[in-house]
Chain A
Amino acid sequence: MTDTSTSIRMSAGTRIYLYVSLSLVAALVLVPLVATALGGFKSLGELRVNPFGLPREWHWSNYLDILFGDRYWRQMVNSLFIAVMTVFLTVVASAMAAFTLAHVKFFGANQLLNYFLIGLMFPAATAILPLFIRIRDLGLLDTYWGVILPQVAFGLGMSILLFRNYFRNLPEELFQAAFVDGCGYIRFFWHISLPLSRPIIATVSIISFVNSWNSYIVPLIMLNSETKYPWPLGIMVYRGEFGTQWQLVLAFITLTILPTIIVFFLAQKHIIAGLTAGAVKG
């Protein structure tokens, strides 16, 4: 699947076109990133006159101050905790729901599925007011759970859809063989479905992790105390405080993006495999 080499010969023109267009796209992504990272090493004055080039003098202190302060780490931990709990609950709940919808025939199964899928059409922002009221009534305002639970709820639709399609594509005879071997639905789920679902679990986890990691509106509404802020809110606060010291803001942004980039490079192979799983039968 990762082997993309092709035996079709390309003409020189095609090749040039490919390289030029791909370089353009890459530059579009990379230039701001690199400029941000380098900007964090400059002094404010240099940033004004030389926004894109290499810093004349490397100011490590911009980064080190942030790394040795506790604000950065607290935001990372907040974000991580919220994201991990969101992923865990989304995967567990949607895998179980999808398994039921895929394998158990019961009255109203289709209606129930449609009900979940309707959720796909509403972004969290449209429901923000009722959501706020509900969370307030539950007494979860300004807690991590006030952010995690709505995020899980809004992630369920997509995750159930992905899981259900995957479960339904497991061969029917496998289910029957397990049934003959003495599995009921629950044992089949634990012993057969889940171990075979690693690619789809990875996919769902990545999607919901990224959604949670980058989520802004739900924490903005639900959280009040800065100590609980995940990084997207933290950046806003930080920018409010150091609004004129752009080099610090840039360094802060670079550091908040860094974990995502590291994770992506580490898990690149799995992420791509997970996203294409089911699309192409490997």
Chain B
Amino acid sequence: MASVELNDIRKNYGTLEVIHGVSLTIEDGEFIALVGPSGCGKSTLLRMIAGLEEITDGEVMIAGKVVNPLTPRERNIAMVFQSYALYPHMTVAENMGFNLKLSGIAKPEIERRVSEAARMLALTDLLDRKPSQLSGGQRQRVAMGRAIVRDPAVFLFDEPLSNLDAKLRVQMRTEIKSLHQKVGTTSIYVTHDQIEAMTLADRIVVLNQGNIEQVGTPLELYRQPANLFVAGFIGSPAMNILDGIVDADNGQPAVRLGDGSAIRIAPQRKVRPGQPVKIGLRPEHFAPTGAGSIVSGRTLLVEPTGAQTHVLFEFAGSHVTAVVDGDHPARHGAHFEAVADGEKVYVFDGSTGVAL
């Protein structure tokens, strides 16, 4: 186990810079999720930490030691790949023991560690099979087994669940989490699925175009997004964003929208009257009744998901999604009305997108 520290990491492909100075400190035993849209540089960053990709500039430190010139093995990291990358010609046991064998560890010791890992991952009955005789979830577990037998300083995961179907993904997510609770190894987990990141990680790093947008616990990111990008990325369904101008409504601070309606905002927001802003309304923060501004419009789409229903309605010239109780009588074409509590309305600067 070890801490990981990134100091102003940069990556160039020729003249194209894809990672622009990323700095990050990961505590010993922490589970960090790297999220961001496709192409933002998550895999590149992870592979630089792994030692699979040259670091153009900056330092990677593992356990307080600069590891830039070291190979993955010398860094003592283990990696789980999206395609699992199991060796097709080796059995499960050989796959898991391969790196121990390469380090010249004695056979009985390899067997002991492989069988221990196999027990932890419920692979004991499959040790003699070849990867082609396993299901997707089992292959995934072997890939994790291969990582844990060697007791590495850091686990790296690159979208390990994206090849699995939805149900198995949820199950493996739980297994990864309980595995981390058992072995407690520092882990860095790349995903573009924000639910996966929210449920697994101690802290989430949101990347966008090679820059860190925000680092924080899942709830911090959800409750206090630093900017529009994070606000729009974290949370499902995504936050509704509306343009407006800061104004007063009966002496209370509010934002006047394009159609003239006013949305109250919390008094502690650092805004000045007349300032162009964007407001963010989380779909799940609309309440049927209570204190706050009324938001209403014609219902465009009703999507029942069981316990909850997603309602898409027209408001202030845009389409707004609300999550309401499954019993809500929303109907296509009918009038929909809900209340937005001013305390839960996010306000962002109109031009920079920074949270106010």
Contacts and interface: CB of A to CB of B under 8 A. Distances in A.
A181 B99 contact: yes
Given A180-B79, A187-B102, A173 B85 contact: yes
A177 B98 CA distance: 11
Contact of B83 (A171, A179, A182, A192): A171
Interface in B46-93: 47, 50, 52, 71-73, 77-79, 81-83, 85-89
Contacts of A162: none
A24 interface: no
Contacts of B71: 179
Contacts of A181: 73, 98-99, 102, 146
Nearest to A184: B71
A177 B72 CA distance: 10
Contacts of A178: 87
A196 B85 CA distance: 13
Would you call the interface of chain A mostly helix, strand, loop, or mixed? helix
B79 A176 contact: yes
B89 A183 contact: no
Given A174-B85, A196-B88, A196-B89, A180 B77 contact: yes
B103 interface: yes
A191 B85 CA distance: 14
Given A179-B72, A180-B50, A180-B52, A174 B87 contact: yes
Interface of A: 171, 173-174, 176-183, 187, 191-192, 195-196
Contacts of B72: 179-180, 182
Given A173-B81, A173-B82, A179 B87 contact: no
A180 B99 CA distance: 8
A171 B89 contact: no
Nearest to B90: A195
B252 to A, nearest CB: 57
Contact of A182 (B73, B79, B85): B73
Contacts of B52: 176, 179-180
B102 A183 contact: yes
Query: 3 closest pairs, A vs B, by CB?
Result: A181-B99, A177-B85, A173-B85
A101 B85 CA distance: 22
28 contacts: A171-B83, A171-B85, A173-B81, A173-B82, A173-B85, A176-B47, A176-B81, A176-B85, A177-B85, A177-B87, A178-B87, A179-B52, A179-B71, A179-B72, A180-B50, A180-B52, A180-B72, A180-B73, A180-B78, A181-B73, A181-B98, A181-B99, A182-B72, A182-B73, A183-B102, A187-B102, A195-B89, A196-B88
In this complex, which of A171, A174, A177, A187 has the most chain B Cβ atoms within 10 angstroms of its Cβ?
A177
B290 to A, nearest CB: 52
Contacts of A174: 85, 87
Contact of A177 (B47, B81, B89, B103): B81
A196 B86 CA distance: 12
Contact of B102 (A177, A182, A195, A196): A182
Contacts of B87: 174, 177-178, 192
A90 B73 CA distance: 33
A211 B340 CA distance: 82
Given A177-B79, A180-B79, A196-B89, 9 more contacts: A174-B85, A176-B85, A179-B52, A180-B72, A180-B73, A181-B102, A182-B99, A187-B102, A195-B89
A91 B323 CA distance: 65
Nearest to B102: A182
A181 B81 CA distance: 13
B98 A173 contact: no
A176 B52 CA distance: 7
Contacts of A195: 89
Contacts of A192: 87
Interface in B270-309: none
Contacts of A176: 47, 52, 79, 81, 85
A179 B79 CA distance: 10
A187 B85 CA distance: 17
Nearest to B71: A179
Interface in B143-197: 146
Contact of A173 (B83, B89, B102): B83
B263 to A, nearest CB: 49
Contacts of B86: 177
A172 to B, nearest CB: 9
Nearest to A195: B89
A173 B163 CA distance: 14
Nearest to A198: B89
Nearest to A170: B88
A171 to B, nearest CB: 6
A1 to B, nearest CB: 16
Nearest to B98: A181
A187 B88 CA distance: 16
B159 to A, nearest CB: 11
A143 B273 CA distance: 99
Interface string B6-46: 00000000000000000000000000000000000000000
In this complex, which of B47, B72, B86 has the most chain A Cβ atoms within 10 angstroms of its Cβ?
B72
Nearest to B52: A176
In this complex, which of A173, A180, A192, A195 has the most chain B Cβ atoms within 10 angstroms of its Cβ?
A180
A158 B128 CA distance: 38
Contacts of B81: 173, 176-177
Contacts of A180: 50, 52, 72-73, 77-79, 99
A243 B146 CA distance: 69
Contacts of A171: 83, 85
B90 to A, nearest CB: 8
